[in-house]
């Protein structure tokens, strides 16, 4: 099978270290590329630095054109891209098609943000010392961007790094997840076809250990990382003076009060907890259900989950695929066993077959168990009952993570209470925490990260304000 070469400042290369890409569901080889050679990595970083120092960016109207063309190319190649990312990530083909559509939208939003890269005039004569003076503030690119992306959204989360870079003119070096490099390479190829400057973009597959050297490289001005909490905070410690944006893990909670529509809440918890086989930072992991409706809610949830079908990524009838690798599945299987030994009750699912894990619903899991207090990143939802809404909010917020939370209630007072008392990046009223559209500010609090994504907010991370002070006396 012909391999897909990696990208070094617009040039396609290969090395002596071939990287086979396997479908997590069955282990079949679905493609290949190469880990970037050390000389190519250095060339990519040096070129990004030169691109920035020489001011090789293109004018805003050309950036808009590139992003619009990229969005159209994504739509034209949607089925091929969906098949690639489904096979390499092990996700359901229907979910993969949705990700391609989101990716095209992300590029369109980034194009719109180019027109908002404006500044402001500051009236300095608000103070007597500023008489006869005014200030102009514009945003300028900080410098080259190092982007490290995860396996679970191997196309759209790369777009969330790449599209803002194109929009503001920043050179970018992307290190995709080793399990899922093909989608990133495909997106970069389309960006070049759309007219992005060749020297602006590099995509370099490599082991994570090698990427750590890039994090410390002072030629990068920005580090943007999406991935695990353990890795992300470690990289921040090595980043030096860089601007750092971290979108890390979660342990998302939803609260279902008795005044909500329980059937709707069950439907949304199934979608939010078991879509992508639970491999989303905002996947529903903990659900707190009001005592009066708990028994009926739990029974309905178990019925809905037992109807889900695990299948091959290209199976149109399957609801979810596998976990990314056997280690991930075995880890969660171990957590389930530990939770059961501590008194938790598995209401359905939980059996493992290689990388595949039956969707599971668990109740009564002690809060100190890994299955409850850590990020499962798997198709497992925990149920707990509550009597007092404030206590449920406190329990949902009692986590080192703080990405998003969901609250099902028709009472705006309760919504406001949750919003004001949960330290998270977003509270979603009337839905699960798994809700995201790609132009919103997305990110977390506590150990879930720093900074925000979404094209507008990523551009703010990639740029910094610079002021021009104009004095009429010296002109």
Give pLDDT tens digits for 270-280: 999 999 999 99
The values of phi and psi at residue 71, to 5°, are -60, -40
pLDDT of residue 3: 74
| Mean pLDDT within 371-383 | 98
| Mean pLDDT within 153-161 | 98
pLDDT of residue 2: 59
| Mean pLDDT within 135-153 | 97
- For residue 119, pLDDT over 60 is answered with yes
* Number of CB atoms found within 10 A of residue 78's CB: 17
- For residue 474, pLDDT over 70 is answered with no
Quick one: tokens of 192? 């070049």
What whole-number distance in Å separates Cα of residue 240 and Cα of residue 9?
25
| Mean pLDDT within 325-341 | 98
CA angle centred on 322, ends 320 and 323, rounded to 5° = 120
Q: Dump pLDDT digits (tens) for 168-215.
A: 999 999 999 999 999 999 999 999 999 999 999 999 999 999 999 999
What whole-number distance in Å separates Cα of residue 409 and Cα of residue 433?
14
Q: What percent of the chain has pLDDT over 70?
A: 99
| Mean pLDDT within 88-96 | 96
CB 220 within 8 A of CB 214: yes
Nearest of 94, 104, 87 to residue 28 by alpha carbon: 87
Q: Could you write out the three-class secondary structure of 260-291?
A: CCHHHHHHHHHHHHHHHHHCCCCCEEEEEEEH
pLDDT of residue 424: 98
pLDDT of residue 323: 97
What whole-number distance in Å separates Cα of residue 103 and Cα of residue 380?
27
What whole-number distance in Å separates Cα of residue 381 and Cα of residue 372?
9
- For residue 66, pLDDT over 60 is answered with yes
The per-residue DSSP string of 303-355 comes to: HHHHT--B--TT-TT-SB---SSHHHHHHHHHHHHHHHHTT-EEEE---EETT
| Mean pLDDT within 439-464 | 97
For residue 55, name the pLDDT band (cuts at 50, 70, 90). confident
Alpha helix segments (H runs only) across 14-136: 38-53, 60-76, 78-89, 93-114
Tokens 């609090």 locate to 445
CB 423 within 8 A of CB 445: yes
| Mean pLDDT within 304-316 | 97
CATH topology of domain 6-248+448-467: Aldehyde Dehydrogenase; Chain A, domain 1 (3.40.605)
| Mean pLDDT within 15-30 | 97
CATH topology of domain 252-437: Aldehyde Dehydrogenase; Chain A, domain 2 (3.40.309)
Q: What residues are annotated to the active site?
A: 247, 281
pTM of the model: 0.95
For residue 475, name the pLDDT band (cuts at 50, 70, 90). low
CB 111 within 8 A of CB 68: yes
> Which is more confidently placed, 38 or 3?
38
pLDDT of residue 1: 43
CB 149 within 8 A of CB 65: no
Nearest of 74, 63, 134 to residue 103 by alpha carbon: 74
Per-chain mean pLDDT for the chain: 96
pLDDT of residue 56: 82
- For residue 251, pLDDT over 80 is answered with yes
- For residue 146, pLDDT over 80 is answered with yes
Question: Where are the domains positioned within the chain?
Answer: 6-248+448-467, 252-437
pLDDT of residue 175: 98
């Amino acid at each position: 099978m012909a391999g897909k070469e990696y990208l070094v400042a617009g040039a396609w290369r290969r090395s002596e270290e071939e990287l086979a890409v396997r479908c997590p569901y069955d282990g079949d080889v679905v493609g290949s590329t190469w880990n970037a050679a050390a000389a190519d990595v250095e060339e990519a970083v040096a070129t990004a630095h030169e691109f920035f120092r020489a001011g090789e960016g293109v004018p805003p109207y050309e950036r808009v054109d590139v992003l619009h063309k990229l969005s159209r190319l994504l739509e034209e190649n949607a089925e091929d891209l969906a098949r690639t990312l489904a096979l390499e990530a092990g996700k359901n083909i229907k979910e993969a098609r949705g990700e391609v559509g989101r990716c095209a939208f992300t590029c369109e939003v980034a194009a719109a943000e180019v027109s908002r890269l404006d500044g402001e005039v500051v009236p300095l004569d608000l103070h007597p010392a500023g008489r006869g003076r005014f200030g102009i503030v514009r945003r300028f690119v900080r410098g080259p961007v190092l982007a490290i992306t995860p396996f679970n959204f191997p196309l759209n989360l790369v777009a969330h790094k790449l599209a803002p870079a194109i929009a503001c003119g920043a050179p970018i070096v992307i290190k995709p997840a080793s399990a899922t490099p093909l989608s990133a390479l495909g997106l970069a190829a389309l960006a070049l076809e759309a007219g992005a400057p060749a020297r602006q973009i590099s995509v370099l597959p490599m082991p994570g250990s090698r990427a750590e050297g890039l994090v410390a490289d002072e030629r990068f001005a920005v580090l943007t990382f999406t991935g695990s909490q353990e890795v992300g905070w470690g990289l921040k410690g090595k980043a030096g003076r860089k601007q750092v944006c971290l979108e890390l893990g979660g342990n998302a909670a939803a609260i279902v009060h008795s005044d909500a529509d329980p059937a709707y809440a069950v439907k949304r918890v199934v979608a939010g907890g078991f879509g992508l086989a639970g491999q989303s930072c905002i996947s529903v992991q903990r659900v707190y259900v009001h005592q009066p409706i708990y028994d009926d809610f739990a029974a309905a949830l178990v019925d809905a989950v037992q109807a889900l079908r695990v299948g091959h990524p290209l199976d149109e009838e399957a609801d979810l695929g596998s976990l990314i690798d056997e280690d991930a599945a075995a880890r969660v299987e171990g957590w389930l066993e530990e939770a059961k030994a501590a008194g938790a009750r598995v209401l359905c699912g939980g059996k493992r077959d290689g990388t595949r894990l039956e969707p599971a619903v668990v109740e009564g899991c002690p809060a100190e168990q890994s299955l409850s207090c850590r990020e499962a990143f798997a198709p497992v939802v925990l149920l707990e009952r509550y009597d007092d809404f404030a206590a449920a909010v406190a329990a949902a917020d009692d986590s080192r993570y703080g990405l998003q939370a969901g609250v099902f209630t028709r009472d705006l007072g309760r919504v406001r209470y949750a919003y004001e008392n949960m330290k998270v990046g977003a509270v979603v009223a009337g839905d699960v925490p798994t809700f995201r559209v790609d132009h919103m500010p997305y990110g977390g609090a506590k150990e879930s990260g720093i900074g925000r994504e979404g094209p507008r907010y990523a551009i703010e991370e990639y740029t910094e304000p610079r002021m021009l002070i104009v004095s009429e006396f010296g002109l």
